[in-house]
Copies of this chain bind each other. A is one copy, B any other.
Amino acid sequence: MTAYSQYRPLPLAQVPQWDFETDVAIVGFGATGACAAIEARTAGARVMLFERSSGSGGASALSGGEIYIGGGTDAQNAAGFDDTVEDFTAYLKLAGGPCADDAKCDRYGREALSHYQWLKDQGVPYRGNFLPGKIIEPTDDSTLIWSGSEAAAPFYKLAKPAPRGHVIQHMGWGGGRPLVDILETRARDLGTEIHVDARAVALITEGTRVAGVVVRIDNKDRFVRAHKGVVLATGGFVFNDAMRRKYCPESFRVNSPIGDKDDGIGIELGASVGGDPIHMDQFFTTCPWTIPEEQAYGVFVNVAGQRFINEDCYHGRVSRCAVDQPGGKVYLLLDSAHFTQPLDLAGITIAGTGETWEEVEAELEMPAGTLSATMHFYNTHAREGRDPLFDKQAPILRPLDQSPFVALECNFETSYFSFFTLGGLKTSADAEVLDRTGQPIPGLFAAGRCTSGLPAWGHGYSSGMSLADCTFFGRYAGMNAAKG
C-alpha cells in the first residue's frame, strides 16, 4: 500500500519520476474542467486535463445545457423582462438559503452578463427567444425559460421575478452534451493536452503547496508536476454510498442518482490537504411531475392530506420539500381539466380516483375530512384567485373542481426522484480551495459540484444554477491557477 493509496497526499520528495509536466493540471472533463482549461490556456499556461472516463462529459453532459443567467440579457430584454443585477443577485442569495455564499452570489450577479458573452464567444449558440410556460427543458430550440421559483412565494416578494434559464440552441432535451462538446472543442483548439482513462488518486504536495497530482493510467501511477496549480473539477459524490451515508444520509430517501462516476474523489483529494467540505448534507432532487404541463396545475398533499408548499415553485423545490414529508410518498391531485397520462419515465402512478374528493380520499384510505377538506378549502379560495395558506400565484393557481378527480402517487422509492449532491469543498469566489481556517491552499483550485457553490441549498435549487456555477467558477479556477 503506497502512501497515496487512500487519497493521502504524496510529498514531492517521494515522487519517483515525473511522467507529465505542465503549468496547470485539471482533473475532470465536464463543463467545469473544460472552462478551466479554456481560461488557463488563454492566459498562456500549459494545461493538461485528466479525465477518468474515456471522454468528456461528466454530469454536465447529462444536463439540459441550461445556464442560470440574469441581470438583463438579450433574451430577457427582447421578451420584455426588466431584470437587474440587484434582483438577480438577491434571488441567487435567496436560492442559497442558509447555505448561501454571498461573495459568490455577488460576483456572479455582477459578472453573469459578461459570462454569457464569453459563452457565446466560445461558440455556444443561443436563439435568443423566450418560451413561456412551466417547462423543464424546451422541446424546441428556444433560449429563455422560467427555471426557478422566481415568480413564486416567498421569492417574488423579495426579488423582482424574471426568467433566467438560458438554454443552448439545440432541438429538444439534452443540451448538456452539445454544450460540453463546444467547450471541449474550444479547449482542444487552444492547445489543452487531454488524457482520458486517467483517474486522479492523490495530490502531490511540496510543504503546504499543491505541486501536482498522481493519476492512474492503464493501472499504473503517473506523476504529474503542475508548476502553477491543480484544478479539481470532478463533480459531487452521488455515486459514493459511503460518503452519502456519512454526510448526506437523507439522500437515501430517493433513488435515482444523476452523474457520471461522481464518487467524490475531488472532495477527498481536497480534504486530504486540508480542504474544508461544507454543507455536505445538501442535495438536489426532482421528480418530473410538471410533465405533461397540465400536471403543473395540480395540488400536492402529504399522507396526512395536508398541502405543504405553493406548487408554483420550481419543480425541484417542490420535490425537495415533498421528500421532507413523512410516509415515503406524496400525492399530486388533479381534476379532469388538468389530467393527462403521466410520463412513463416518471414512475408516477394513479393511486386513487373519484367523482368527488371524498371518494378519492376514501380510495387512498385517508381519514374522512382530510384530503377532501384540504381541497374544498383550496378550491374555495382558488376560485377567488388566492391561496391564503401558501400564496400560490396565478396562472398556476386554479380550482380543481371538474370531476372526476385523480390522485397521482409520487413515491420517493419507486417514482423517478433523480438527485445529486450539492455539498463540497469550500472555495473562495476566486475558486481557491480554502482550508478550515479560511486560508487558500496554495496551488489548489476547484469548481463545480466538488465544491459548495451557487446551488448550495437543496430547497432553493433552480435549473441552470449548477451549470452556471460550473462554467463561471470553472473559468476562475483556470484563470487563477494559471497565475500560479
Contacts and interface: CB of A to CB of B under 8 A. Distances in A.
A247 B370 contact: no
Most chain B beta carbons < 10 A, residue from A247, A274, A281: A281
A296 interface: no
A310 B307 CA distance: 18
Nearest to A268: B436
A266 to B, nearest CB: 13
A133 interface: no
A114 interface: no
Contact of A246 (B250, B272, B278, B435): B278
B306 A276 contact: no
Contacts of A369: 373, 377
Interface in A432-451: 435-439
B367 A388 contact: yes
A437 B6 contact: yes
A98 B426 contact: no
A373 to B, nearest CB: 6
Contacts of A249: 97-99, 279
Contacts of A304: 306-307, 389-390
Most chain B beta carbons < 10 A, residue from A242, A271, A307: A271
Nearest to A434: B246
Main secondary structure of the interface of A (DSSP, over half): loop
A118 interface: no
Contacts of A136: none
A255 to B, nearest CB: 15
B98 A437 contact: no
A280 interface: yes
Contacts of A389: 304-305, 367, 370
A442 to B, nearest CB: 14
Interface in A7-25: 7-8
Interface string A84-125: 000000000000011100000000000000000000000000
A250 B98 contact: yes
A182 to B, nearest CB: 35
Interface in A382-410: 388-390
A413 interface: no
21 contacts: A6-B439, A7-B436, A98-B252, A246-B278, A247-B278, A268-B436, A271-B436, A272-B436, A279-B281, A280-B281, A304-B306, A304-B389, A304-B390, A305-B389, A306-B306, A324-B324, A367-B377, A367-B388, A367-B389, A369-B377, A373-B377
Given A7-B436, A272-B436, A304-B390, 8 more contacts: A6-B436, A6-B437, A98-B249, A271-B436, A304-B389, A367-B377, A367-B388, A367-B389
